[in-house]
């Protein structure tokens, strides 16, 4: 299809929403009818991955099209230098109106506030769910209501007031469903009378994994606090019962927050229909990374394991994307900005390190499409979660992870050494990554090939540490 009209872009990103909590990704625990509309009317990516599974770094990658060693946001302790070029600057310099509403989480003040947006209205830091403080173009004030409703109201309001003669990009960034998972009134009692199924890997004892997995402080029954689960557990529960109790408390509030996102995405989709904008608008729903939903007995993210590495990524653009299509082709968060520029017919700048996903979306994936991806988590043994720094490579069949055991000067990293460890997973035989085969003699050649690919990719993206 040849069409040079510049599309509008509505980029909806939530915080910590794992793909396996969306019914279009075959969730076993909830229904998301409005999010499913985007997938049903567009394309679902089954292998979309983040290059560093944590909030601020993923956000910096999505704005710049760069890996974290290039954009400077390696850990939560780093702020973004908003003088750097970004997707919003490229679009704005080429005639787009740009706005960001909701979560920013890349720093505040000179050179850290959002830049190159015609309008921005953000939460300070993580933001609150109820009656949050917000910063509108530098001015802070409290807003009454529930964060997910507020961000949607403001998004619709901004689109409504736009200059109708020019295309726009709106980044609609929800705080939900980030910890501490405070639901709104409407969904407070959802799931009250049922038990949510526990995941298959709920009782992982980490015996098939590196010591890094045992050391992590993300265990449902041990590391969640009163603020997370909102009441003390009943007395007299066995260890197993306590774990199940914590899981139910945690997952229900998490899913209640998602139910509100789903309603609000529905509202935004209806608005685009009513305004006649649906045909001319690329609409994306994604999350800054995945999340452990009791998988391996955990909450949180950070690890390169599947549940945390995978991002939901669904996109609708009726002019170019076939309704109801799906793909297993690799897509990365670093690819998003180039994709938007490609659809907007704007030249892709050299500083961006990803690949436009437009050919995949148009059903024309080139033969030489990316078949491996590079990952790096920098925040070594941070005090709260104690996940060791690591880098790795994933292909369609295998994943190799290297816990290098050092802080290497990254902000928010703890200067404690660990013995380096490797893991290799055969994702065809072991999709839930329960048993590393790194030391299995049958995989000697695979280890060699995967290490070569790891260091090839590491070099190719310019990561020299």
| Residue ranges that bind Ca ion, judged by CB under 5 A | 15-16, 55, 288
Show Cβ contacts of residue 194 under 8 Å, excluding neighbours closer than 6 positions: none
Considering the complex, state which of residue 74 and residue 316 has its C-beta at the smaller distance from Ca ion.
74
Residue written as tokens 């060791």?
Answer: 388
Q: Min. distance of Cβ 63 from Ca ion in angstroms?
A: 15
CA distance 83 to 112: 8
Q: Min. distance of Cβ 76 from Ca ion in angstroms?
A: 10
In the bound state, the residue with its beta carbon closest to Ca ion is 55
Q: Min. distance of Cβ 300 from Ca ion in angstroms?
A: 9
Considering the complex, state which of residue 7 and residue 107 has its C-beta at the smaller distance from Ca ion.
107
CA distance 253 to 377: 27
Considering the complex, state which of residue 7 and residue 312 has its C-beta at the smaller distance from Ca ion.
312
Q: Give one word for 396, left, alpha or beta, with left for phi > 0 and alpha for psi -120 to 50.
A: alpha
CA-derived radius of gyration, the chain: 21
Q: Min. distance of Cβ 16 from Ca ion in angstroms?
A: 4
Q: Min. distance of Cβ 55 from Ca ion in angstroms?
A: 4
Q: Min. distance of Cβ 59 from Ca ion in angstroms?
A: 8
CA distance 93 to 358: 21
CA distance 307 to 196: 18
Considering the complex, state which of residue 78 and residue 288 has its C-beta at the smaller distance from Ca ion.
288
Considering the complex, state which of residue 63 and residue 437 has its C-beta at the smaller distance from Ca ion.
63
Q: Min. distance of Cβ 288 from Ca ion in angstroms?
A: 4
CA distance 106 to 77: 9
CA angle 450, 451, 456 (to 5 degrees): 95
Considering the complex, state which of residue 15 and residue 116 has its C-beta at the smaller distance from Ca ion.
15
Show Cβ contacts of residue 222 under 8 Å, excluding neighbours closer than 6 positions: none
Give the CA distances from residue 327 to residues 39, 43, 365, in Å, rounded to whole numbers and listed in that order: 11, 7, 10
Considering the complex, state which of residue 2 and residue 383 has its C-beta at the smaller distance from Ca ion.
383
The β-bridge relationship of strands 97-102 and 168-173 is parallel
String of b and e for 146-155 (b: at least 16 CB within 10 Å)?
bbbebbbebb
Q: Give one word for 182, left, alpha or beta, with left for phi > 0 and alpha for psi -120 to 50.
A: beta
Considering the complex, state which of residue 108 and residue 162 has its C-beta at the smaller distance from Ca ion.
108
């Amino acid at each position: 299809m040849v069409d040079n009209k510049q599309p509008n872009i509505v980029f909806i990103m939530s915080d910590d929403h794992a793909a396996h909590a969306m019914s279009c990704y075959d969730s076993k625990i909830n229904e998301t009818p409005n999010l499913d509309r985007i997938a049903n009317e567009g394309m679902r990516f089954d292998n979309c991955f983040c290059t560093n599974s944590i909030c601020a770094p993923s956000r910096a990658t999505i704005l710049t099209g760069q890996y974290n060693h290039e954009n400077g946001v390696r850990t939560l302790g780093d702020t973004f230098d908003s003088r750097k070029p970004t997707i919003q600057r490229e679009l704005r310099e080429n005639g787009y109106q740009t706005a960001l509403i909701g979560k920013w989480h890349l720093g505040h003040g000179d050179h850290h506030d959002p830049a190159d947006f015609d309008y921005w209205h953000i939460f300070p830091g993580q933001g609150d769910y109820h009656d949050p403080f917000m910063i509108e173009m530098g001015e802070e004030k409290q807003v009454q209501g529930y964060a997910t409703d507020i961000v949607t109201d403001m998004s619709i309001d901004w689109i409504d007031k736009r200059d109708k003669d020019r295309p726009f990009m709106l980044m609609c960034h929800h705080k939900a469903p980030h910890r501490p998972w405070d639901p709104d009134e409407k969904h407070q009692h959802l799931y009250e009378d049922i038990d949510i199924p526990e995941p298959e890997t709920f009782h992982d004892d980490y015996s098939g994994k590196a010591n890094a997995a045992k050391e992590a402080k993300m265990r449902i029954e041990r590391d969640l606090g009163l603020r997370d689960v909102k009441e003390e557990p009943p007395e007299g529960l066995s260890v197993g019962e306590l774990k199940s109790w914590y899981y139910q408390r945690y997952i229900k509030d998490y899913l209640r927050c998602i139910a509100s996102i789903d309603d609000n995405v529905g509202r935004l989709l209806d608005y685009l229909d009513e305004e006649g904008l649906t045909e001319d608008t690329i609409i994306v729903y994604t999350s800054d990374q995945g999340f452990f939903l009791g998988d391996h007995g955990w909450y949180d993210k950070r690890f390169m394991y599947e549940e945390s590495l995978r991002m939901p990524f669904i996109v609708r653009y009726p002019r170019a994307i076939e309704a109801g299509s799906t793909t297993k082709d690799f897509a990365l968060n670093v690819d998003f900005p180039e994709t938007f520029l490609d659809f907007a017919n704007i030249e892709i700048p050299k500083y961006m390190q990803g690949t436009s996903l437009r050919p995949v979306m148009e059903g024309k994936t080139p033969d030489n499409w990316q078949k491996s991806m590079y990952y790096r988590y920098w925040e070594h043994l941070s005090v709260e979660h104690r996940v060791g720094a690591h880098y790795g490579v994933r292909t369609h069949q295998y994943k190799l992870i290297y816990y290098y055991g050092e802080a290497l000067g990254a902000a928010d990293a703890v200067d404690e050494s660990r013995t380096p460890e490797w893991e290799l997973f055969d994702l065809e035989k072991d999709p839930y990554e329960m048993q590393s085969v790194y030391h299995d003699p049958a995989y000697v050649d695979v280890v060699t090939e995967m290490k070569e690919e790891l260091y090839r990719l590491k070099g190719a993206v310019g990561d020299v540490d």
